[in-house]
Chains A and B, each alone.
Chain A
Amino acid sequence: MKRNILTFGIGMALALSIGWIAFPHVLYVRQQQPLEFRHKTHSEKSGLTQCDSCHVVGADGEFSGIAGVETCAGCHADKVGTTKAEATLVDLYVKPSRQTPWLVYSRQPANVWFSHAIHARRAGLACQDCHGSMGETDQARVYEQDRISGYSRDISGHSMSGLFRAPHDGMKMSDCEDCHHRRNVQVGCLGCHK
Protein backbone atom coordinates (compact mmCIF):
# COMPACT_ATOMS: atom_id res chain seq x y z
CA MET A 1 0.00 0.00 0.00
CA LYS A 2 2.68 2.42 0.95
CA ARG A 3 4.61 1.36 -2.06
CA ASN A 4 1.64 2.03 -4.31
CA ILE A 5 1.22 5.49 -2.89
CA LEU A 6 4.92 6.03 -3.36
CA THR A 7 4.93 4.95 -6.99
CA PHE A 8 1.81 6.99 -7.58
CA GLY A 9 3.48 9.93 -5.94
CA ILE A 10 6.66 9.50 -7.94
CA GLY A 11 4.72 9.26 -11.16
CA MET A 12 2.78 12.35 -10.28
CA ALA A 13 5.84 14.30 -9.26
CA LEU A 14 7.56 13.34 -12.48
CA ALA A 15 4.59 14.43 -14.54
CA LEU A 16 4.22 17.68 -12.65
CA SER A 17 7.84 18.61 -13.05
CA ILE A 18 7.86 17.72 -16.73
CA GLY A 19 4.61 19.55 -17.24
CA TRP A 20 5.51 22.68 -15.33
CA ILE A 21 9.23 22.98 -15.86
CA ALA A 22 10.35 21.04 -18.89
CA PHE A 23 7.30 21.55 -21.05
CA PRO A 24 7.48 25.37 -21.33
CA HIS A 25 11.16 25.08 -22.22
CA VAL A 26 10.46 22.61 -24.95
CA LEU A 27 7.28 24.22 -26.21
CA TYR A 28 8.74 27.66 -26.67
CA VAL A 29 11.77 28.32 -28.78
CA ARG A 30 13.67 31.47 -27.98
CA GLN A 31 14.51 33.79 -30.83
CA GLN A 32 16.44 37.01 -30.96
CA GLN A 33 15.26 40.17 -32.61
CA PRO A 34 17.27 41.11 -35.71
CA LEU A 35 18.97 43.78 -33.67
CA GLU A 36 19.12 44.90 -30.09
CA PHE A 37 16.63 47.78 -29.93
CA ARG A 38 16.48 49.67 -26.64
CA HIS A 39 13.34 51.65 -25.91
CA LYS A 40 14.89 53.34 -22.89
CA THR A 41 17.78 54.69 -24.90
CA HIS A 42 15.43 56.26 -27.37
CA SER A 43 13.16 57.79 -24.80
CA GLU A 44 15.96 59.14 -22.64
CA LYS A 45 18.45 60.27 -25.21
CA SER A 46 16.26 61.37 -28.09
CA GLY A 47 13.26 62.81 -26.36
CA LEU A 48 10.95 60.25 -27.95
CA THR A 49 9.00 59.88 -24.78
CA GLN A 50 5.62 59.04 -26.24
CA CYS A 51 4.80 55.68 -27.77
CA ASP A 52 3.20 57.41 -30.71
CA SER A 53 6.43 59.14 -31.69
CA CYS A 54 7.14 56.01 -33.69
CA HIS A 55 4.07 53.80 -33.37
CA VAL A 56 1.56 55.98 -35.16
CA VAL A 57 -2.15 55.82 -35.83
CA GLY A 58 -2.48 57.48 -39.25
CA ALA A 59 -5.15 59.89 -40.38
CA ASP A 60 -7.08 57.12 -42.08
CA GLY A 61 -6.93 54.99 -38.95
CA GLU A 62 -4.20 52.63 -40.11
CA PHE A 63 -1.72 51.71 -37.43
CA SER A 64 1.92 51.71 -38.39
CA GLY A 65 2.84 48.89 -36.02
CA ILE A 66 6.53 48.75 -35.37
CA ALA A 67 7.98 51.72 -37.20
CA GLY A 68 9.09 51.10 -40.74
CA VAL A 69 12.71 51.58 -41.67
CA GLU A 70 11.81 54.98 -43.12
CA THR A 71 10.97 56.20 -39.63
CA CYS A 72 14.27 54.92 -38.25
CA ALA A 73 16.05 56.59 -41.15
CA GLY A 74 14.68 59.90 -39.92
CA CYS A 75 17.49 59.92 -37.37
CA HIS A 76 19.61 56.96 -38.38
CA ALA A 77 20.20 57.74 -42.04
CA ASP A 78 23.79 57.35 -41.01
CA LYS A 79 25.38 56.02 -37.86
CA VAL A 80 24.94 58.47 -35.01
CA GLY A 81 26.30 56.24 -32.26
CA THR A 82 28.76 53.47 -31.79
CA THR A 83 26.65 50.42 -30.99
CA LYS A 84 26.72 47.24 -33.01
CA ALA A 85 22.92 47.27 -33.13
CA GLU A 86 22.83 50.62 -34.87
CA ALA A 87 25.49 49.51 -37.32
CA THR A 88 23.34 46.53 -38.20
CA LEU A 89 20.36 48.80 -38.66
CA VAL A 90 22.10 51.25 -40.93
CA ASP A 91 24.09 48.77 -42.98
CA LEU A 92 21.56 45.99 -43.41
CA TYR A 93 18.29 47.87 -43.43
CA VAL A 94 18.41 51.65 -43.75
CA LYS A 95 20.92 51.91 -46.56
CA PRO A 96 19.43 49.16 -48.75
CA SER A 97 15.89 50.29 -47.86
CA ARG A 98 14.90 46.90 -46.53
CA GLN A 99 12.30 46.51 -43.84
CA THR A 100 13.71 45.14 -40.59
CA PRO A 101 12.21 41.69 -39.98
CA TRP A 102 11.09 42.37 -36.42
CA LEU A 103 9.49 39.54 -34.50
CA VAL A 104 6.19 40.99 -33.36
CA TYR A 105 5.22 39.94 -29.86
CA SER A 106 1.58 40.79 -30.33
CA ARG A 107 1.06 39.33 -33.80
CA GLN A 108 -2.44 37.94 -34.12
CA PRO A 109 -3.80 35.45 -36.66
CA ALA A 110 -4.87 36.82 -40.02
CA ASN A 111 -8.55 36.53 -39.19
CA VAL A 112 -8.30 38.94 -36.26
CA TRP A 113 -9.09 42.59 -36.76
CA PHE A 114 -7.82 44.82 -34.04
CA SER A 115 -8.06 48.55 -34.49
CA HIS A 116 -5.59 50.70 -32.61
CA ALA A 117 -7.53 53.75 -33.72
CA ILE A 118 -10.63 52.52 -31.94
CA HIS A 119 -8.89 51.23 -28.81
CA ALA A 120 -6.22 53.87 -28.32
CA ARG A 121 -8.00 56.91 -29.71
CA ARG A 122 -11.68 56.40 -29.17
CA ALA A 123 -11.62 54.21 -26.08
CA GLY A 124 -8.65 56.03 -24.65
CA LEU A 125 -6.77 52.91 -23.63
CA ALA A 126 -3.14 53.46 -22.75
CA CYS A 127 -0.54 51.45 -24.64
CA GLN A 128 0.62 49.94 -21.33
CA ASP A 129 -2.82 48.48 -20.68
CA CYS A 130 -2.17 45.77 -23.28
CA HIS A 131 1.53 45.95 -24.00
CA GLY A 132 2.89 46.48 -20.53
CA SER A 133 5.83 48.73 -19.94
CA MET A 134 7.48 47.91 -23.23
CA GLY A 135 8.53 51.49 -23.61
CA GLU A 136 10.64 51.44 -20.48
CA THR A 137 12.67 48.34 -21.26
CA ASP A 138 16.35 48.79 -21.76
CA GLN A 139 16.93 45.75 -23.86
CA ALA A 140 15.08 43.91 -26.56
CA ARG A 141 13.04 41.18 -24.95
CA VAL A 142 13.61 37.64 -26.06
CA TYR A 143 10.90 36.45 -28.42
CA GLU A 144 9.54 33.13 -27.32
CA GLN A 145 7.70 31.38 -30.11
CA ASP A 146 5.27 28.54 -29.56
CA ARG A 147 6.51 25.71 -31.73
CA ILE A 148 3.06 24.36 -32.47
CA SER A 149 0.89 27.41 -33.00
CA GLY A 150 3.67 29.67 -34.24
CA TYR A 151 2.61 32.61 -32.09
CA SER A 152 4.46 34.51 -29.42
CA ARG A 153 4.25 33.55 -25.75
CA ASP A 154 2.84 37.02 -25.18
CA ILE A 155 -0.37 35.90 -26.84
CA SER A 156 -1.11 32.95 -24.63
CA GLY A 157 0.38 34.65 -21.61
CA HIS A 158 3.67 34.08 -19.87
CA SER A 159 2.03 32.55 -16.89
CA MET A 160 1.38 28.90 -17.75
CA SER A 161 -0.94 28.42 -14.83
CA GLY A 162 -3.01 31.51 -15.34
CA LEU A 163 -2.15 32.59 -11.79
CA PHE A 164 -0.07 35.63 -10.89
CA ARG A 165 -0.75 37.17 -14.25
CA ALA A 166 0.23 40.69 -14.99
CA PRO A 167 -2.86 42.66 -16.10
CA HIS A 168 -1.56 42.92 -19.64
CA ASP A 169 -0.41 39.34 -19.93
CA GLY A 170 -2.15 37.36 -22.62
CA MET A 171 -3.76 38.51 -25.84
CA LYS A 172 -6.01 35.61 -26.70
CA MET A 173 -9.62 36.00 -27.59
CA SER A 174 -10.62 35.21 -24.03
CA ASP A 175 -8.50 38.11 -22.79
CA CYS A 176 -10.16 40.49 -25.24
CA GLU A 177 -13.55 39.18 -24.19
CA ASP A 178 -12.75 39.69 -20.51
CA CYS A 179 -11.88 43.32 -21.00
CA HIS A 180 -14.90 43.92 -23.20
CA HIS A 181 -17.07 42.32 -20.58
CA ARG A 182 -15.57 44.41 -17.78
CA ARG A 183 -16.14 47.61 -19.70
CA ASN A 184 -19.48 46.50 -21.06
CA VAL A 185 -18.60 47.04 -24.71
CA GLN A 186 -20.59 44.70 -26.87
CA VAL A 187 -19.22 43.73 -30.23
CA GLY A 188 -20.30 40.73 -32.24
CA CYS A 189 -18.03 38.48 -34.26
CA LEU A 190 -17.97 41.21 -36.90
CA GLY A 191 -16.36 43.58 -34.44
CA CYS A 192 -13.11 41.68 -34.16
CA HIS A 193 -12.87 39.29 -37.10
CA LYS A 194 -12.23 39.61 -40.76
Chain B
Amino acid sequence: MSARYGFVIDLDRCTGCGACMVACAAENNVPPAAPRATPRTGLTPMLVRKVSNGMDGIARREVFIPIACMHCGNETPCVSVCPQQAVEVDKATGIVMQMPQRCLGCRYCMTACPYHARYFNWWDPAWPTGMEKSLNPAVAVRMRGVVEKCNMCHGRLHSAMEKAAAAGRREIDPADYVPACAEACPTGAITFGNLADDKDPVSHAAHSPDAFRLLAKLDTEPKVYFKSQQAWVRGLADRESDRPSEVQNG
Protein backbone atom coordinates (compact mmCIF):
# COMPACT_ATOMS: atom_id res chain seq x y z
CA MET B 1 0.00 0.00 0.00
CA SER B 2 1.78 3.06 -1.21
CA ALA B 3 -0.36 6.12 -1.13
CA ARG B 4 0.38 9.79 -1.53
CA TYR B 5 -2.19 11.57 0.56
CA GLY B 6 -2.83 15.17 -0.26
CA PHE B 7 -5.34 17.98 -0.31
CA VAL B 8 -7.05 20.09 -2.92
CA ILE B 9 -8.38 23.29 -1.41
CA ASP B 10 -10.90 25.27 -3.44
CA LEU B 11 -10.20 28.92 -2.61
CA ASP B 12 -13.39 30.04 -4.30
CA ARG B 13 -15.32 28.11 -1.68
CA CYS B 14 -13.38 28.99 1.45
CA THR B 15 -15.33 31.57 3.46
CA GLY B 16 -12.63 32.07 6.07
CA CYS B 17 -14.87 30.80 8.86
CA GLY B 18 -12.05 29.09 10.74
CA ALA B 19 -13.83 25.79 11.40
CA CYS B 20 -10.78 23.94 10.10
CA MET B 21 -8.54 25.76 12.58
CA VAL B 22 -10.67 24.85 15.57
CA ALA B 23 -11.29 21.28 14.44
CA CYS B 24 -7.55 20.77 13.90
CA ALA B 25 -6.74 22.08 17.35
CA ALA B 26 -9.38 19.89 18.97
CA GLU B 27 -8.30 16.74 17.13
CA ASN B 28 -4.60 17.23 17.80
CA ASN B 29 -4.80 18.25 21.46
CA VAL B 30 -3.47 21.71 20.74
CA PRO B 31 -3.91 23.76 23.91
CA PRO B 32 -5.83 27.02 24.05
CA ALA B 33 -3.64 30.10 23.82
CA ALA B 34 -1.29 30.83 26.68
CA PRO B 35 -2.11 34.24 28.13
CA ARG B 36 0.88 35.85 26.38
CA ALA B 37 0.43 34.13 23.04
CA THR B 38 0.15 36.32 19.95
CA PRO B 39 -0.44 35.53 16.29
CA ARG B 40 3.31 35.15 15.97
CA THR B 41 3.80 32.83 18.94
CA GLY B 42 0.51 30.96 18.86
CA LEU B 43 -0.01 27.32 17.97
CA THR B 44 -2.08 27.00 14.83
CA PRO B 45 -1.14 23.89 12.85
CA MET B 46 -3.91 24.98 10.50
CA LEU B 47 -3.94 28.72 9.88
CA VAL B 48 -6.26 30.57 7.54
CA ARG B 49 -4.78 33.70 5.99
CA LYS B 50 -6.59 36.44 4.15
CA VAL B 51 -5.22 37.89 0.93
CA SER B 52 -6.70 40.65 -1.17
CA ASN B 53 -6.12 41.91 -4.69
CA GLY B 54 -5.16 45.28 -3.31
CA MET B 55 -8.12 47.16 -4.78
CA ASP B 56 -11.00 48.88 -3.03
CA GLY B 57 -14.70 49.27 -3.54
CA ILE B 58 -16.52 46.87 -5.83
CA ALA B 59 -13.28 45.91 -7.53
CA ARG B 60 -12.01 44.45 -4.29
CA ARG B 61 -11.51 40.74 -4.11
CA GLU B 62 -10.41 38.76 -1.13
CA VAL B 63 -9.56 35.16 -0.72
CA PHE B 64 -8.90 33.04 2.36
CA ILE B 65 -6.08 30.55 2.19
CA PRO B 66 -5.89 27.69 4.70
CA ILE B 67 -2.21 27.00 5.31
CA ALA B 68 -0.95 23.88 7.01
CA CYS B 69 2.04 21.68 6.39
CA MET B 70 2.36 21.07 2.67
CA HIS B 71 3.93 17.65 3.19
CA CYS B 72 6.67 18.28 0.69
CA GLY B 73 7.71 15.17 -1.16
CA ASN B 74 11.00 16.18 -2.73
CA GLU B 75 14.05 17.26 -0.74
CA THR B 76 11.76 18.08 2.09
CA PRO B 77 13.35 21.17 3.71
CA CYS B 78 12.51 20.39 7.32
CA VAL B 79 13.65 16.78 7.03
CA SER B 80 16.97 17.76 5.56
CA VAL B 81 17.85 20.20 8.33
CA CYS B 82 16.68 18.36 11.43
CA PRO B 83 19.67 17.36 13.59
CA GLN B 84 17.53 14.87 15.52
CA GLN B 85 15.81 13.08 12.67
CA ALA B 86 12.64 14.06 14.44
CA VAL B 87 10.76 14.35 11.17
CA GLU B 88 10.58 11.95 8.28
CA VAL B 89 8.64 11.40 5.09
CA ASP B 90 6.59 8.26 5.60
CA LYS B 91 7.15 5.92 2.69
CA ALA B 92 3.76 4.29 2.78
CA THR B 93 1.64 7.42 2.83
CA GLY B 94 3.78 10.40 1.88
CA ILE B 95 2.92 12.07 5.17
CA VAL B 96 5.73 14.16 6.61
CA MET B 97 5.58 12.93 10.18
CA GLN B 98 6.82 15.22 12.91
CA MET B 99 7.91 13.49 16.12
CA PRO B 100 7.75 16.10 18.87
CA GLN B 101 9.06 13.58 21.37
CA ARG B 102 12.34 13.44 19.51
CA CYS B 103 12.61 17.13 18.86
CA LEU B 104 15.12 19.13 20.84
CA GLY B 105 13.64 22.46 19.96
CA CYS B 106 16.40 24.03 17.88
CA ARG B 107 13.76 25.41 15.49
CA TYR B 108 15.97 24.99 12.46
CA CYS B 109 13.04 23.38 10.69
CA MET B 110 10.92 26.47 11.31
CA THR B 111 13.48 28.52 9.43
CA ALA B 112 13.72 25.96 6.69
CA CYS B 113 9.99 25.64 6.04
CA PRO B 114 9.12 27.91 3.10
CA TYR B 115 5.46 27.97 4.15
CA HIS B 116 5.94 28.96 7.81
CA ALA B 117 3.80 25.98 8.67
CA ARG B 118 5.68 24.91 11.80
CA TYR B 119 4.96 26.10 15.30
CA PHE B 120 6.93 26.10 18.50
CA ASN B 121 5.59 25.26 21.94
CA TRP B 122 6.78 28.32 23.82
CA TRP B 123 4.83 27.32 26.89
CA ASP B 124 3.82 24.09 28.52
CA PRO B 125 0.35 23.17 27.33
CA ALA B 126 -2.23 24.04 29.92
CA TRP B 127 -5.92 23.44 29.89
CA PRO B 128 -8.44 24.79 32.40
CA THR B 129 -8.92 22.36 35.30
CA GLY B 130 -10.68 19.22 34.22
CA MET B 131 -10.59 20.02 30.51
CA GLU B 132 -7.83 17.48 29.98
CA LYS B 133 -10.54 14.82 30.26
CA SER B 134 -11.70 15.97 26.85
CA LEU B 135 -8.35 15.33 25.17
CA ASN B 136 -8.23 13.05 22.17
CA PRO B 137 -6.58 9.74 23.17
CA ALA B 138 -5.44 9.12 19.59
CA VAL B 139 -2.86 11.92 19.71
CA ALA B 140 -0.06 12.39 22.24
CA VAL B 141 0.22 15.70 24.06
CA ARG B 142 3.43 17.65 23.51
CA MET B 143 5.44 19.59 26.07
CA ARG B 144 7.07 22.96 25.78
CA GLY B 145 10.25 23.31 23.84
CA VAL B 146 9.32 21.24 20.81
CA VAL B 147 8.10 22.04 17.34
CA GLU B 148 4.85 20.69 16.03
CA LYS B 149 2.90 20.84 12.82
CA CYS B 150 0.15 19.20 10.86
CA ASN B 151 0.59 15.43 10.61
CA MET B 152 -2.43 14.84 8.42
CA CYS B 153 -4.40 13.63 11.43
CA HIS B 154 -2.30 10.52 11.82
CA GLY B 155 -4.54 9.49 14.73
CA ARG B 156 -7.36 9.03 12.26
CA LEU B 157 -5.12 7.08 9.92
CA HIS B 158 -4.23 4.80 12.80
CA SER B 159 -7.90 4.24 13.62
CA ALA B 160 -8.62 3.45 9.98
CA MET B 161 -5.74 0.97 9.89
CA GLU B 162 -6.96 -0.74 13.04
CA LYS B 163 -10.47 -0.98 11.72
CA ALA B 164 -9.21 -2.52 8.50
CA ALA B 165 -7.06 -5.01 10.39
CA ALA B 166 -10.00 -6.03 12.60
CA ALA B 167 -12.07 -6.64 9.48
CA GLY B 168 -9.29 -8.65 7.91
CA ARG B 169 -8.46 -6.07 5.24
CA ARG B 170 -5.01 -4.84 4.27
CA GLU B 171 -6.18 -1.59 2.72
CA ILE B 172 -8.01 1.05 4.68
CA ASP B 173 -11.44 2.22 3.69
CA PRO B 174 -10.92 5.80 2.38
CA ALA B 175 -14.12 6.91 4.11
CA ASP B 176 -12.51 6.05 7.45
CA TYR B 177 -9.58 8.39 7.01
CA VAL B 178 -10.59 12.02 6.66
CA PRO B 179 -8.48 14.63 8.46
CA ALA B 180 -10.27 16.97 10.82
CA CYS B 181 -9.95 20.04 8.60
CA ALA B 182 -11.50 18.36 5.57
CA GLU B 183 -14.26 16.90 7.69
CA ALA B 184 -15.01 20.22 9.35
CA CYS B 185 -15.12 22.47 6.31
CA PRO B 186 -18.76 23.62 5.97
CA THR B 187 -18.48 24.40 2.28
CA GLY B 188 -16.41 21.39 1.31
CA ALA B 189 -13.56 23.63 0.19
CA ILE B 190 -10.95 21.33 1.71
CA THR B 191 -10.91 17.93 0.06
CA PHE B 192 -8.58 15.11 0.90
CA GLY B 193 -7.57 12.01 -0.95
CA ASN B 194 -4.87 9.84 -2.42
CA LEU B 195 -3.00 11.71 -5.13
CA ALA B 196 -1.46 8.48 -6.33
CA ASP B 197 -4.83 6.90 -7.04
CA ASP B 198 -6.13 7.74 -10.49
CA LYS B 199 -9.68 6.98 -9.48
CA ASP B 200 -9.62 9.40 -6.57
CA PRO B 201 -11.49 12.61 -7.43
CA VAL B 202 -8.92 14.60 -5.47
CA SER B 203 -6.22 13.29 -7.71
CA HIS B 204 -8.23 14.54 -10.67
CA ALA B 205 -8.82 17.93 -9.15
CA ALA B 206 -5.13 18.34 -8.48
CA HIS B 207 -4.47 18.12 -12.20
CA SER B 208 -7.17 20.52 -13.29
CA PRO B 209 -6.00 23.71 -15.04
CA ASP B 210 -7.30 25.81 -12.15
CA ALA B 211 -5.11 24.03 -9.65
CA PHE B 212 -1.82 25.40 -8.43
CA ARG B 213 0.60 24.97 -5.58
CA LEU B 214 2.24 27.66 -3.53
CA LEU B 215 5.91 28.25 -4.26
CA ALA B 216 5.92 25.39 -6.71
CA LYS B 217 9.11 26.78 -8.23
CA LEU B 218 11.00 25.62 -5.13
CA ASP B 219 10.45 22.07 -6.38
CA THR B 220 9.64 20.69 -2.96
CA GLU B 221 6.63 18.88 -4.45
CA PRO B 222 4.04 19.90 -1.88
CA LYS B 223 1.01 17.67 -1.61
CA VAL B 224 -1.43 20.49 -0.97
CA TYR B 225 -2.99 21.93 -4.10
CA PHE B 226 -5.15 25.00 -4.26
CA LYS B 227 -7.58 25.84 -6.95
CA SER B 228 -9.46 28.91 -8.06
CA GLN B 229 -11.25 30.11 -11.12
CA GLN B 230 -9.96 33.61 -10.42
CA ALA B 231 -6.77 34.41 -12.30
CA TRP B 232 -5.49 36.84 -9.69
CA VAL B 233 -5.61 34.09 -7.08
CA ARG B 234 -3.66 31.70 -9.26
CA GLY B 235 -1.16 34.48 -9.67
CA LEU B 236 -0.48 34.35 -5.94
CA ALA B 237 1.29 31.06 -6.42
CA ASP B 238 4.40 32.84 -7.51
CA ARG B 239 5.30 36.04 -5.76
CA GLU B 240 6.75 37.31 -9.02
CA SER B 241 3.28 37.92 -10.38
CA ASP B 242 2.81 41.49 -11.56
CA ARG B 243 -0.60 41.76 -9.94
CA PRO B 244 -0.52 43.65 -6.68
CA SER B 245 -1.06 41.14 -3.95
CA GLU B 246 -1.32 42.42 -0.48
CA VAL B 247 -0.93 39.84 2.17
CA GLN B 248 -2.95 41.06 5.02
CA ASN B 249 -4.17 39.38 8.12
CA GLY B 250 -7.49 40.16 9.72
Contacts and interface: CB of A to CB of B under 8 A. Distances in A.
Co-complex (A, B): yes
Interface string A159-194: 000000000000000000000000000111111011
A109 B159 CA distance: 18
Contacts of A189: 88, 90, 97, 99
> Which of B91, B95, B164, B165 is packed against the most chain A CB atoms within 10 Å?
B165
B154 A121 contact: no
B216 interface: no
Interface of B: 88-93, 95, 97, 99-101, 138-141, 151, 154-155, 157-159, 161-168, 170
Given A189-B88, A189-B99, A122 B165 contact: yes
Contact of B163 (A61, A186, A193): A61
B97 A115 contact: no
Contacts of B100: 111
Contacts of B157: 190
Interface stretch (A5-13, A52-60, A127-135): A52-60
Contact of A118 (B93, B141, B162): B162
Most buried by B among A58, A61, A117: A61
Contacts of B168: 121-122
A60 B176 CA distance: 11
Interface residues of A, number: 23
Nearest to A187: B92
Contacts of B165: 61, 115, 117-118, 121-122
A62 interface: yes
A190 B170 contact: no
A148 interface: no
A188 B163 CA distance: 20
A190 B141 contact: no
Between A109, A110, A189, the greatest number of chain B beta carbons within 10 A of the residue's beta carbon is seen for A189
Contact of A193 (B89, B91, B92, B101): B101
B99 A186 contact: no
A194 B135 CA distance: 14
B162 A117 contact: yes
Nearest to A188: B90
A162 to B, nearest CB: 24
A122 B171 CA distance: 11
Contacts of A60: 159, 162-163, 166
Given A194-B138, A194-B140, A188 B88 contact: yes
B154 A188 contact: no
Nearest to B136: A194
A102 interface: no
Contact of B140 (A110, A118, A122): A110
A115 B164 CA distance: 11
Contacts of B167: 59
A188 to B, nearest CB: 4
A115 B92 CA distance: 17
Nearest to A186: B91
